[in-house]
Amino acid sequence: MKAQFLGTQEAETGAYKWFAARDAAMKSYAASTLYTDAQKLRAERMKLGLEMVYAAKSAFITYRKKFVTIKLDQARVCDRKTLAQFEKDYTAQGDITKVVTDQGITYRIARG
């Protein structure tokens, strides 16, 4: 599995942050119509598995045109052994990448 580090920052507080969140939610909903039920179910199962091994402030799925993301805000590993097994399985699948930012950890499932 490929792992990346991105130095992105969260939007400032206030109205800009609210508008950015609304825009992201609308784009995610529009992109979700491009995915089949099986692809959505795969993302949901992956999210549930990651919630078992990470302690995070929040975990959510975002749909994009080319990939689905599972984001874990302010994540901390709780079960390293199970996480290693999950990541080994994700590597075998070949279409999942892990992105680490200051905000949290994101797993991307390529649309395919």
In tens digits, the chain (112 residues) has pLDDT values of 666 665 556 666 677 878 888 888 899 899 899 999 999 999 999 999 999 999 999 999 999 999 999 999 999 999 999 999 999 999 999 899 999 988 899 999 998 7
Length of the chain: 112
Report pTM.
0.81
Q: Which residues have a Cβ under 8 Å from the Cβ of 68 and sit 6 or more positions away?
A: 35, 39, 40, 43, 61, 62, 108, 109, 111
Q: What is the pLDDT of residue 7?
A: 59
Q: What is the pLDDT of residue 5?
A: 62
Q: Which residues have a Cβ under 8 Å from the Cβ of 86 and sit 6 or more positions away?
A: 49, 50, 53
Q: What is the pLDDT of residue 3?
A: 65
